[in-house]
């Protein structure tokens, strides 16, 4: 589904990704861990086509299509969903209006029937309950005045409704209390399916107690330094990242 080959990318004229390889198949959950500033958010931003993030070498293929040739709308339509590390506020646009617009565009592009207003409201309310979010949040401006936990619940709610094929979640655990963490994990786990892939960027092992990944990768210095199964996350929790990055710095 996602095939990244020798990807190089820069932000603000600075090379951040330096030959990153990653292969994600349908049905898999991948966790990407790594020290601060290693390029994890850059990777998700590059994949989602965020302004200012340039691919300078290699390629990232989504279902065989070069993502650099897709605009953000086409990526969304191809079934890519990105939950940001820092979700944006959109004052004046209600959450429900935002959802309606996203769902209409996405479902149309995926060849699915649009939902009428009654169905949309019903599904949105149900999904709010699923993530322990008061349905009143549907009326409020997108993320306006939401706490960190509410923003995340809201994002997971959007994700569940949009039914993406490839979900990219960046530091979904940052600043969440244990209840919110479990809500996020439940939401992500309920999305797991053979035709869907999930890439989870996380700094801490604790989220992976609830969302057990099939593959774990360590990103440092703009490259994947090590890959393994779920036990790699436990090893990192005990040993930190130093033993990997030291190896990298050592003369060959």
- Which one of 41-49, 94-102, 103-111, 207-215 is the stretch in contact with Mg ion (CB under 5 A)? 41-49
What is the nearest approach in angstroms of ligand ADP to the Cβ of residue 85?
7
Let me know: does 31 contact 216? Beta carbons within 8 Å.
yes
What is the nearest approach in angstroms of Mg ion to the Cβ of residue 83?
12
Let me know: does 235 contact 208? Beta carbons within 8 Å.
no
* Strand ranges (E), the chain: 2-11, 14-24, 29-33, 53-62, 65-66, 80-83, 90-94, 141-142, 166-170, 197-201, 215-220, 223-228
Nearer to Mg ion, 128 or 200 (CB): 200
Contacts with ligand ADP, residue ranges (CB under 6 A): 11-12, 14, 16, 34, 36-42, 52
The Cα–Cα gap between 180 and 173 comes to 9
Residue 36's binding partner out of Mg ion, ligand ADP, none, with CB under 5 to 8 Å set by partner kind: ligand ADP
What is the nearest approach in angstroms of Mg ion to the Cβ of residue 37?
8
| Helix (H) / strand (E) containing 242 | helix 242-249
Nearer to ligand ADP, 16 or 167 (CB): 16
Nearer to ligand ADP, 36 or 238 (CB): 36
- Which one of 38-46, 175-183, 214-222, 235-243 is the stretch in contact with Mg ion (CB under 5 A)? 38-46
Return all residues near 185 (Cβ < 8 A) that are at least 6 apart: 207, 210, 211
10, 38, 41, 143: which one contacts Mg ion (CB under 5 A)? 41
Let me know: does 197 contact 165? Beta carbons within 8 Å.
yes
Tokens 């209006």 belong to: 97
Nearer to ligand ADP, 138 or 218 (CB): 218
Token output for 21: 């390889």
What is the nearest approach in angstroms of ligand ADP to the Cβ of residue 30?
15
The Cα–Cα gap between 114 and 103 comes to 8
Residue 145's binding partner out of Mg ion, ligand ADP, none, with CB under 5 to 8 Å set by partner kind: none
The Cα–Cα gap between 106 and 182 comes to 27
Residue 95's binding partner out of ligand ADP, Mg ion, none, with CB under 5 to 8 Å set by partner kind: none
What is the nearest approach in angstroms of ligand ADP to the Cβ of residue 45?
7
Nearer to ligand ADP, 137 or 241 (CB): 241
Residues forming the site for Mg ion (CB under 5 A):
40-41
């Amino acid at each position: 589904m996602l095939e990244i080959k020798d990807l190089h990318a820069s932000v603000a004229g600075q090379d951040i990704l330096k030959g990153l390889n990653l292969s994600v198949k349908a049905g898999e959950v991948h966790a990407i861990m790594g020290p601060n500033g290693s390029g994890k958010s850059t990777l998700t931003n590059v994949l989602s086509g965020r302004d200012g993030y340039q691919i300078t070498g290699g390629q990232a293929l989504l279902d065989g299509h070069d993502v650099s040739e897709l605009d953000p709308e086409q990526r969304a339509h191809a079934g890519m969903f990105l939950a940001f590390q820092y979700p944006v506020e959109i004052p004046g646009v209600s959450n429900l209006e935002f959802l309606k617009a996203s769902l209409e565009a996405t479902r149309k592009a995926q060849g699915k029937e649009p939902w009428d207003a009654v169905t949309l409201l019903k599904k949105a309310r149900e999904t709010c309950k699923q993530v322990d979010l008061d349905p009143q949040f549907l009326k409020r401006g997108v993320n306006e005045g939401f706490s960190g936990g509410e923003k995340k619940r809201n994002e997971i709610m959007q994700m569940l409704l949009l039914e993406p094929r490839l979900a990219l979640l960046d530091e979904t655990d940052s600043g969440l209390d244990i209840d919110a963490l479990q809500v996020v994990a439940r939401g992500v786990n309920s999305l797991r399916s053979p035709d869907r892939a999930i890439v989870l960027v996380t700094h801490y092992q604790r989220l992976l107690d609830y969302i057990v990944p099939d593959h774990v990768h360590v990103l440092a210095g703009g490259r994947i330094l090590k890959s393994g199964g779920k036990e790699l996350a436990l090893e990192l929790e005990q040993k930190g990242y130093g033993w990997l990055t030291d190896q990298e710095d050592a003369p060959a």
